[in-house]
Amino acid sequence: MEKMFEGTTINDMQLSNRSVRSATWEGMCDTDGRPTTKLASFYRDLAAGGAGLIITGYTFVRQDGKQMPGKMGIHTDAFGSEMRALTRAVHDEGGRICIQLVHAGGQTTAKTAGRRPLAPSAVKVEQFPEEPQAMSRQDIDEIVAAFGDAARRAKEHGFDAVQLHAAHGYLINQFLSPLTNQRKDDYGGSPEKRSRFLIEVYRSVRSAVGPAFPVIAKLNGSDNLDGGLDVRDAVQAAILLDREKIDAIEVSGGTSASGEKGPVRTKVDRPDREAYNLALAVEIKKAVRCPVMAVGGFRSPDVINKALAGDGIDYISMSRPFIREPGLIGRWKEGDRSPARCISCNGCFKPGIKEGGIYCVVEKKEQHRRT
Protein backbone atom coordinates (compact mmCIF):
# COMPACT_ATOMS: atom_id res chain seq x y z
CA MET A 1 0.00 0.00 0.00
CA GLU A 2 2.91 2.35 -0.61
CA LYS A 3 0.74 4.58 -2.79
CA MET A 4 -1.78 5.02 0.03
CA PHE A 5 0.83 6.41 2.40
CA GLU A 6 2.34 8.99 0.06
CA GLY A 7 2.20 12.61 1.20
CA THR A 8 0.28 14.87 -1.19
CA THR A 9 -1.04 18.41 -1.54
CA ILE A 10 -4.40 19.75 -2.65
CA ASN A 11 -3.86 23.41 -3.46
CA ASP A 12 -2.17 24.74 -0.29
CA MET A 13 -3.29 21.83 1.95
CA GLN A 14 -0.69 19.19 2.77
CA LEU A 15 -1.96 15.66 3.47
CA SER A 16 -0.06 12.80 5.07
CA ASN A 17 -1.67 10.07 2.97
CA ARG A 18 -4.27 9.36 0.31
CA SER A 19 -7.09 8.30 2.63
CA VAL A 20 -10.21 10.44 3.05
CA ARG A 21 -12.90 10.07 5.64
CA SER A 22 -15.90 10.78 3.43
CA ALA A 23 -18.67 13.00 4.78
CA THR A 24 -20.91 11.17 7.22
CA TRP A 25 -23.94 12.49 9.08
CA GLU A 26 -23.05 12.01 12.73
CA GLY A 27 -26.17 13.33 14.51
CA MET A 28 -23.96 14.99 17.16
CA CYS A 29 -25.09 18.62 16.95
CA ASP A 30 -27.65 20.57 18.93
CA THR A 31 -31.13 21.11 17.49
CA ASP A 32 -30.04 24.45 16.00
CA GLY A 33 -27.01 22.92 14.28
CA ARG A 34 -24.42 23.96 16.86
CA PRO A 35 -21.58 21.39 17.04
CA THR A 36 -20.90 19.70 20.36
CA THR A 37 -17.82 18.59 22.28
CA LYS A 38 -18.87 15.03 21.44
CA LEU A 39 -18.42 15.79 17.75
CA ALA A 40 -15.05 17.44 18.36
CA SER A 41 -13.87 14.29 20.18
CA PHE A 42 -15.19 12.16 17.31
CA TYR A 43 -13.07 14.10 14.80
CA ARG A 44 -10.07 14.07 17.14
CA ASP A 45 -10.17 10.26 17.18
CA LEU A 46 -10.27 10.13 13.38
CA ALA A 47 -7.27 12.42 13.10
CA ALA A 48 -5.34 10.46 15.74
CA GLY A 49 -6.22 7.25 13.89
CA GLY A 50 -4.43 8.39 10.73
CA ALA A 51 -7.16 9.57 8.34
CA GLY A 52 -5.43 11.82 5.82
CA LEU A 53 -8.36 14.18 5.33
CA ILE A 54 -11.55 14.32 7.39
CA ILE A 55 -14.64 15.63 5.62
CA THR A 56 -17.37 16.64 8.06
CA GLY A 57 -20.95 15.51 7.93
CA TYR A 58 -23.11 17.52 5.53
CA THR A 59 -23.51 21.04 6.93
CA PHE A 60 -26.45 23.25 5.96
CA VAL A 61 -25.74 26.72 4.58
CA ARG A 62 -29.28 27.99 5.26
CA GLN A 63 -31.93 26.92 7.74
CA ASP A 64 -34.27 25.86 4.92
CA GLY A 65 -31.56 23.53 3.65
CA LYS A 66 -31.50 21.39 6.79
CA GLN A 67 -32.58 17.76 6.60
CA MET A 68 -31.64 15.32 9.38
CA PRO A 69 -31.75 15.94 13.15
CA GLY A 70 -28.41 16.61 14.79
CA LYS A 71 -27.08 17.99 11.52
CA MET A 72 -24.40 20.68 11.66
CA GLY A 73 -25.11 24.23 10.49
CA ILE A 74 -22.78 26.91 9.17
CA HIS A 75 -25.57 29.35 8.35
CA THR A 76 -24.65 31.76 11.15
CA ASP A 77 -21.60 33.40 12.68
CA ALA A 78 -22.87 32.42 16.15
CA PHE A 79 -21.17 28.99 16.19
CA GLY A 80 -17.64 30.30 15.74
CA SER A 81 -16.19 29.12 19.06
CA GLU A 82 -17.61 25.61 18.65
CA MET A 83 -16.41 25.40 15.05
CA ARG A 84 -12.92 26.45 16.06
CA ALA A 85 -12.97 23.75 18.75
CA LEU A 86 -13.62 21.17 15.99
CA THR A 87 -10.76 22.33 13.82
CA ARG A 88 -8.41 22.67 16.79
CA ALA A 89 -9.18 19.10 17.91
CA VAL A 90 -8.13 17.80 14.49
CA HIS A 91 -5.09 20.04 14.15
CA ASP A 92 -3.84 19.07 17.60
CA GLU A 93 -3.52 15.51 16.26
CA GLY A 94 -1.80 16.62 13.06
CA GLY A 95 -4.90 16.08 10.91
CA ARG A 96 -6.72 18.08 8.25
CA ILE A 97 -10.44 18.82 8.17
CA CYS A 98 -12.72 19.89 5.32
CA ILE A 99 -16.30 21.05 5.89
CA GLN A 100 -18.99 19.81 3.51
CA LEU A 101 -21.50 22.48 2.47
CA VAL A 102 -25.02 21.50 1.45
CA HIS A 103 -28.56 22.64 0.87
CA ALA A 104 -30.96 19.69 0.92
CA GLY A 105 -33.47 21.35 -1.42
CA GLY A 106 -36.41 19.09 -2.19
CA GLN A 107 -35.06 16.31 0.01
CA THR A 108 -36.05 18.14 3.17
CA THR A 109 -39.56 18.75 4.53
CA ALA A 110 -41.61 21.80 5.46
CA LYS A 111 -41.45 20.74 9.11
CA THR A 112 -37.65 20.60 9.12
CA ALA A 113 -36.98 23.50 6.75
CA GLY A 114 -39.53 25.84 8.28
CA ARG A 115 -41.11 26.46 4.89
CA ARG A 116 -42.16 24.60 1.77
CA PRO A 117 -38.98 22.94 0.43
CA LEU A 118 -37.23 24.58 -2.49
CA ALA A 119 -36.07 22.71 -5.58
CA PRO A 120 -35.26 23.50 -9.22
CA SER A 121 -38.76 22.44 -10.28
CA ALA A 122 -42.06 21.73 -8.56
CA VAL A 123 -42.03 18.02 -9.34
CA LYS A 124 -43.10 15.10 -7.19
CA VAL A 125 -40.52 12.37 -7.46
CA GLU A 126 -39.70 9.45 -5.18
CA GLN A 127 -36.65 11.12 -3.64
CA PHE A 128 -38.73 14.13 -2.45
CA PRO A 129 -40.84 13.61 0.70
CA GLU A 130 -43.32 16.23 -0.52
CA GLU A 131 -43.78 18.36 -3.62
CA PRO A 132 -41.34 21.28 -3.43
CA GLN A 133 -41.63 24.86 -4.61
CA ALA A 134 -39.81 25.80 -7.80
CA MET A 135 -37.00 28.23 -7.11
CA SER A 136 -37.19 31.76 -8.45
CA ARG A 137 -34.14 33.60 -9.77
CA GLN A 138 -34.04 35.45 -6.46
CA ASP A 139 -34.04 32.13 -4.57
CA ILE A 140 -31.13 30.94 -6.71
CA ASP A 141 -29.12 34.11 -6.15
CA GLU A 142 -29.72 34.02 -2.39
CA ILE A 143 -28.70 30.38 -1.99
CA VAL A 144 -25.62 30.88 -4.17
CA ALA A 145 -24.66 33.74 -1.85
CA ALA A 146 -25.35 31.56 1.22
CA PHE A 147 -22.79 29.01 0.01
CA GLY A 148 -20.24 31.79 -0.30
CA ASP A 149 -21.04 33.12 3.19
CA ALA A 150 -20.69 29.60 4.60
CA ALA A 151 -17.30 29.14 2.94
CA ARG A 152 -16.10 32.45 4.34
CA ARG A 153 -17.08 31.29 7.84
CA ALA A 154 -15.36 27.94 7.30
CA LYS A 155 -12.06 29.60 6.46
CA GLU A 156 -12.37 31.96 9.43
CA HIS A 157 -13.08 29.02 11.76
CA GLY A 158 -9.89 27.19 10.77
CA PHE A 159 -11.14 24.54 8.37
CA ASP A 160 -8.52 23.44 5.85
CA ALA A 161 -10.90 23.11 2.89
CA VAL A 162 -14.55 23.15 1.86
CA GLN A 163 -16.49 20.59 -0.14
CA LEU A 164 -19.60 21.32 -2.18
CA HIS A 165 -22.12 18.50 -1.90
CA ALA A 166 -23.30 18.04 -5.48
CA ALA A 167 -24.31 14.38 -5.03
CA HIS A 168 -26.91 12.09 -3.43
CA GLY A 169 -29.95 14.01 -4.63
CA TYR A 170 -29.41 17.24 -2.70
CA LEU A 171 -30.00 20.68 -4.20
CA ILE A 172 -26.95 21.00 -6.47
CA ASN A 173 -27.52 17.45 -7.70
CA GLN A 174 -31.20 18.31 -8.23
CA PHE A 175 -30.14 21.00 -10.68
CA LEU A 176 -27.78 18.59 -12.44
CA SER A 177 -30.42 15.87 -12.83
CA PRO A 178 -32.92 16.03 -15.71
CA LEU A 179 -35.36 14.12 -13.50
CA THR A 180 -35.63 16.89 -10.90
CA ASN A 181 -34.64 19.84 -13.10
CA GLN A 182 -37.35 20.49 -15.66
CA ARG A 183 -36.70 24.21 -15.96
CA LYS A 184 -37.02 26.02 -19.29
CA ASP A 185 -34.70 28.92 -18.44
CA ASP A 186 -30.90 29.22 -18.36
CA TYR A 187 -30.69 26.70 -15.48
CA GLY A 188 -32.38 23.79 -17.28
CA GLY A 189 -32.19 21.75 -20.45
CA SER A 190 -28.71 20.87 -21.66
CA PRO A 191 -26.04 19.43 -19.32
CA GLU A 192 -24.24 22.78 -19.47
CA LYS A 193 -27.34 24.71 -18.40
CA ARG A 194 -28.14 22.20 -15.66
CA SER A 195 -24.58 22.73 -14.40
CA ARG A 196 -25.00 26.49 -14.18
CA PHE A 197 -26.16 26.48 -10.54
CA LEU A 198 -23.18 24.34 -9.55
CA ILE A 199 -20.74 26.65 -11.31
CA GLU A 200 -22.32 29.75 -9.74
CA VAL A 201 -22.07 28.15 -6.30
CA TYR A 202 -18.43 27.29 -6.96
CA ARG A 203 -17.62 30.83 -8.08
CA SER A 204 -19.34 32.28 -5.01
CA VAL A 205 -17.32 30.00 -2.76
CA ARG A 206 -14.05 30.64 -4.59
CA SER A 207 -14.58 34.38 -4.36
CA ALA A 208 -15.12 34.05 -0.61
CA VAL A 209 -12.03 31.95 0.16
CA GLY A 210 -9.50 33.04 -2.45
CA PRO A 211 -7.40 31.10 -4.97
CA ALA A 212 -5.13 29.21 -2.52
CA PHE A 213 -7.83 27.70 -0.31
CA PRO A 214 -8.88 24.16 -1.36
CA VAL A 215 -12.39 23.81 -2.79
CA ILE A 216 -13.56 20.26 -3.51
CA ALA A 217 -16.80 18.96 -5.02
CA LYS A 218 -18.64 15.74 -4.29
CA LEU A 219 -20.29 14.68 -7.52
CA ASN A 220 -22.54 11.81 -8.45
CA GLY A 221 -21.08 9.80 -11.30
CA SER A 222 -24.64 8.55 -11.77
CA ASP A 223 -27.92 8.94 -9.90
CA ASN A 224 -28.70 5.29 -10.69
CA LEU A 225 -32.26 6.36 -11.49
CA ASP A 226 -34.31 6.18 -14.68
CA GLY A 227 -34.29 9.69 -16.10
CA GLY A 228 -31.70 10.93 -13.63
CA LEU A 229 -28.15 12.16 -14.07
CA ASP A 230 -25.97 9.61 -15.86
CA VAL A 231 -22.23 9.31 -16.30
CA ARG A 232 -22.23 11.37 -19.51
CA ASP A 233 -23.87 14.26 -17.69
CA ALA A 234 -21.49 13.82 -14.76
CA VAL A 235 -18.44 13.94 -17.01
CA GLN A 236 -19.69 17.20 -18.54
CA ALA A 237 -20.20 18.73 -15.09
CA ALA A 238 -16.74 17.54 -14.02
CA ILE A 239 -15.13 19.10 -17.09
CA LEU A 240 -16.80 22.42 -16.33
CA LEU A 241 -15.59 22.29 -12.72
CA ASP A 242 -12.09 21.41 -13.89
CA ARG A 243 -12.04 24.42 -16.19
CA GLU A 244 -12.98 26.57 -13.20
CA LYS A 245 -9.94 25.15 -11.35
CA ILE A 246 -11.75 23.02 -8.79
CA ASP A 247 -9.11 21.47 -6.54
CA ALA A 248 -10.50 17.90 -6.45
CA ILE A 249 -13.64 15.92 -7.25
CA GLU A 250 -14.95 13.10 -5.06
CA VAL A 251 -17.08 10.68 -7.09
CA SER A 252 -20.06 8.94 -5.53
CA GLY A 253 -23.40 7.69 -6.84
CA GLY A 254 -27.07 7.21 -6.10
CA THR A 255 -29.81 9.03 -4.23
CA SER A 256 -32.26 8.13 -1.50
CA ALA A 257 -34.54 6.75 -4.23
CA SER A 258 -31.92 4.52 -5.88
CA GLY A 259 -32.69 1.37 -3.89
CA GLU A 260 -29.86 -1.16 -3.86
CA LYS A 261 -27.74 1.27 -5.90
CA GLY A 262 -27.99 4.06 -3.35
CA PRO A 263 -25.04 5.87 -1.76
CA VAL A 264 -24.75 3.53 1.25
CA ARG A 265 -25.02 -0.08 0.09
CA THR A 266 -25.19 -3.19 2.21
CA LYS A 267 -23.65 -6.65 1.65
CA VAL A 268 -20.17 -5.33 0.85
CA ASP A 269 -18.80 -8.61 2.15
CA ARG A 270 -16.23 -9.67 -0.46
CA PRO A 271 -13.76 -7.90 -2.74
CA ASP A 272 -15.87 -8.10 -5.91
CA ARG A 273 -18.62 -6.12 -4.16
CA GLU A 274 -16.26 -3.37 -3.08
CA ALA A 275 -15.48 -0.12 -4.92
CA TYR A 276 -18.93 0.11 -6.42
CA ASN A 277 -18.43 3.65 -7.74
CA LEU A 278 -14.91 3.07 -9.02
CA ALA A 279 -15.88 2.69 -12.68
CA LEU A 280 -17.67 6.06 -12.54
CA ALA A 281 -14.66 7.68 -10.90
CA VAL A 282 -12.36 6.27 -13.60
CA GLU A 283 -14.54 7.79 -16.34
CA ILE A 284 -14.38 11.19 -14.67
CA LYS A 285 -10.64 10.86 -14.05
CA LYS A 286 -10.11 10.38 -17.78
CA ALA A 287 -11.80 13.71 -18.48
CA VAL A 288 -10.21 16.03 -15.90
CA ARG A 289 -6.81 17.23 -14.73
CA CYS A 290 -7.70 17.74 -11.06
CA PRO A 291 -7.30 14.98 -8.46
CA VAL A 292 -10.17 12.50 -8.21
CA MET A 293 -11.36 10.75 -5.06
CA ALA A 294 -13.46 7.58 -5.20
CA VAL A 295 -15.91 6.57 -2.47
CA GLY A 296 -18.15 3.55 -2.11
CA GLY A 297 -17.47 0.23 -0.45
CA PHE A 298 -13.70 0.19 -0.10
CA ARG A 299 -12.71 -2.39 2.51
CA SER A 300 -9.61 -4.33 1.39
CA PRO A 301 -6.03 -3.09 0.89
CA ASP A 302 -5.71 -5.02 -2.37
CA VAL A 303 -8.79 -3.33 -3.84
CA ILE A 304 -7.59 0.06 -2.64
CA ASN A 305 -4.11 -0.47 -4.04
CA LYS A 306 -5.51 -1.40 -7.44
CA ALA A 307 -7.65 1.74 -7.53
CA LEU A 308 -4.68 3.95 -6.65
CA ALA A 309 -1.81 2.26 -8.46
CA GLY A 310 -3.72 0.56 -11.28
CA ASP A 311 -6.71 2.77 -12.08
CA GLY A 312 -5.01 6.09 -11.38
CA ILE A 313 -7.44 7.31 -8.75
CA ASP A 314 -5.77 9.90 -6.50
CA TYR A 315 -7.56 9.37 -3.16
CA ILE A 316 -9.70 6.67 -1.57
CA SER A 317 -12.66 7.80 0.53
CA MET A 318 -14.36 5.67 3.15
CA SER A 319 -17.14 6.32 5.64
CA ARG A 320 -18.59 3.38 7.53
CA PRO A 321 -15.24 1.61 8.09
CA PHE A 322 -14.10 4.64 10.10
CA ILE A 323 -17.19 4.46 12.31
CA ARG A 324 -16.13 1.02 13.50
CA GLU A 325 -12.39 1.65 13.30
CA PRO A 326 -11.31 5.28 13.59
CA GLY A 327 -7.72 3.97 13.69
CA LEU A 328 -8.04 1.91 10.50
CA ILE A 329 -5.39 3.80 8.52
CA GLY A 330 -2.96 3.61 11.40
CA ARG A 331 -3.54 -0.14 11.65
CA TRP A 332 -2.79 -0.61 7.98
CA LYS A 333 0.28 1.60 8.16
CA GLU A 334 1.64 -0.44 11.07
CA GLY A 335 1.44 -3.59 8.96
CA ASP A 336 -1.89 -5.25 9.83
CA ARG A 337 -3.39 -5.36 6.33
CA SER A 338 -6.52 -7.35 7.13
CA PRO A 339 -9.67 -5.77 5.65
CA ALA A 340 -11.74 -3.19 7.46
CA ARG A 341 -13.97 -4.84 10.04
CA CYS A 342 -17.10 -2.97 8.87
CA ILE A 343 -19.80 -5.42 7.70
CA SER A 344 -21.85 -2.72 5.87
CA CYS A 345 -25.00 -3.36 7.90
CA ASN A 346 -25.87 0.35 8.25
CA GLY A 347 -26.78 -0.20 11.89
CA CYS A 348 -24.45 2.67 12.82
CA PHE A 349 -26.94 5.31 11.72
CA LYS A 350 -29.80 4.33 14.03
CA PRO A 351 -28.08 5.60 17.21
CA GLY A 352 -27.62 8.93 15.45
CA ILE A 353 -31.37 9.45 15.62
CA LYS A 354 -32.17 7.67 18.87
CA GLU A 355 -29.08 8.32 20.99
CA GLY A 356 -27.56 11.56 19.71
CA GLY A 357 -24.67 10.14 17.75
CA ILE A 358 -23.65 7.36 15.37
CA TYR A 359 -21.51 4.43 16.44
CA CYS A 360 -20.90 0.85 15.32
CA VAL A 361 -23.56 -1.26 17.02
CA VAL A 362 -21.74 -4.48 16.08
CA GLU A 363 -18.52 -3.32 17.72
CA LYS A 364 -20.40 -2.25 20.82
CA LYS A 365 -22.04 -5.67 21.15
CA GLU A 366 -18.68 -7.39 20.75
CA GLN A 367 -17.15 -5.14 23.41
CA HIS A 368 -19.96 -6.05 25.79
CA ARG A 369 -19.35 -9.75 25.17
CA ARG A 370 -15.61 -9.34 25.83
CA THR A 371 -16.27 -7.60 29.14
List the chain pLDDT tens, one digit each, 371 residues: 789 999 999 999 999 999 999 999 999 999 999 999 999 999 999 999 999 999 999 999 999 999 999 999 999 999 999 999 999 999 999 999 999 999 999 999 999 999 999 999 999 999 999 999 999 999 999 999 999 999 999 999 999 999 999 999 999 999 999 999 999 999 999 999 999 999 999 999 999 999 999 999 999 999 999 999 999 999 999 999 999 999 999 999 999 999 999 999 999 999 999 999 999 999 999 999 999 999 999 999 999 999 999 999 999 999 999 999 999 999 999 999 999 999 999 999 999 999 999 999 999 998 888 77
Q: Where are the domains of the chain?
A: 8-370
Q: Give the pLDDT score at 207.
A: 98
- 58 is known as an active-site residue: no
Mind listing the pLDDT tens digit for each residue in 38-63? 999 999 999 999 999 999 999 999 99
CB contact at 8 A, 313 and 19: no
Mind listing the pLDDT tens digit for each residue in 2-45? 899 999 999 999 999 999 999 999 999 999 999 999 999 999 99
Mind listing the pLDDT tens digit for each residue in 105-142? 999 999 999 999 999 999 999 999 999 999 999 999 99
Instruction: Please state, as a whole number, how many other Cβ atoms lie within 10 Å of the Cβ of residue 328.
Output: 24
Max CA distance (Å), the chain: 63
Instruction: Please state, as a whole number, how many other Cβ atoms lie within 10 Å of the Cβ of residue 353.
Output: 14
User: How much is the pTM?
Assistant: 0.97
Fold of 8-370: TIM Barrel (3.20.20)
Catalytic residue among 170, 187, 276, 359: 170
